[in-house]
A = this chain, B = another copy of it.
Amino acid sequence: MMYSLEAGGKRLRPILVLSAAEAVGRAEQARKLAMPVACAVEMIHTYSLIHDDLPAMDDDDFRRGKPTNHKIYGEAMAILAGDGLLTHAFFAVTRAVSLGAPPEAVLAIVSDLARLAGAPGMVGGQAADMQGEQGVTSLEELEYIHLHKTSDLLVFSVLAGARIGGASSEQLEALQRFARKLGLAFQIQDDILDLVGDAAKLGKPVQSDVEERKVTYPYLIGMEESQKLVVRLTQEAKQALAEAKLETPDTLLAIADYLMSRDH
């Protein structure tokens, strides 16, 4: 569990939790209360990577520049490390209560996490991805996969932080749209980087999607259209962010810009 948690990565999801909590208001206290939830979402993300890398799934040998979990500890321990991280994430969320977060907000976060990381969310996206590899994937199916496999956990991160920060239901609705667009842009950028990125910066070989015959946005609509789509989705995300009328949206805005222009 610690090997994969400590392997690094962008920490995008915990940063989104903390940034959303701060953006709503009472920044310092919100950041403290949101920390267990920020840790929880990184545990969920890390478990999903461990399981995705398994031989029965994507069969990847490297992740974040290091051998994948099962390459070091074997398949059985990798499955259990994933199960342990997934389960512990919910323990971490409940710790926010002992720091002073309102029980109702924490229960809503538990419910959101179970929904957005589960079969109606991330797990469902991964299952659709696995099944998609066995046949033709349409643009609609690809969008379904991306929305659930990637966006849903980003949506969770932003919503959870905002809940801790005391966001109104109108703010939560606008932030959900923000995170959904951001997540789709993020995943298309991932597809693009797999084709034209730098293996050293990415920490994994490029063109692995091509080798694994994965259907991607560049494959379906071309590189130029994909790049245009990333720009458009990022603009729509920023528009939704403006509609959330946050006290200090600057960090979330900066994250949207960074994700669009990142090279790894």
Contacts and interface: CB of A to CB of B under 8 A. Distances in A.
Interface of A: 1, 47, 51, 54, 56-57, 74-77, 79-80, 82-84, 86-91, 93-94, 97, 103-104, 106-107, 110-111, 113-115, 117-119, 123-124, 126-127, 130
A115 B91 contact: yes
A107 B104 CA distance: 9
A137 B93 CA distance: 36
23 contacts: A1-B119, A47-B83, A51-B80, A54-B79, A57-B76, A76-B130, A80-B123, A80-B127, A80-B130, A84-B123, A84-B124, A84-B127, A86-B86, A86-B87, A87-B114, A87-B123, A88-B119, A90-B110, A91-B111, A93-B110, A94-B107, A94-B114, A103-B104
Nearest to A98: B111
Contact of A118 (B54, B77, B91, B111): B91
A83 B56 CA distance: 14
Q: How many copies does the complex hold?
A: 2
Contacts of A118: 83-84, 87-88, 91
Task: Tell me which of A74, A79, A107 has the highest count of chain B C-beta atoms within 10 A of its own C-beta.
Answer: A79
B114 A90 contact: yes
- Interface residues of A, dominant DSSP: helix
Contact of A113 (B47, B57, B90): B90
A127 B73 CA distance: 11
Contacts of A107: 94, 97, 103, 106-107, 110
A100 to B, nearest CB: 14
Given A87-B119, A87-B123, A91-B118, 10 more contacts: A54-B79, A76-B130, A77-B127, A80-B127, A83-B118, A87-B118, A91-B115, A94-B110, A94-B114, A103-B107
Given A1-B119, A127-B77, A86 B83 contact: yes
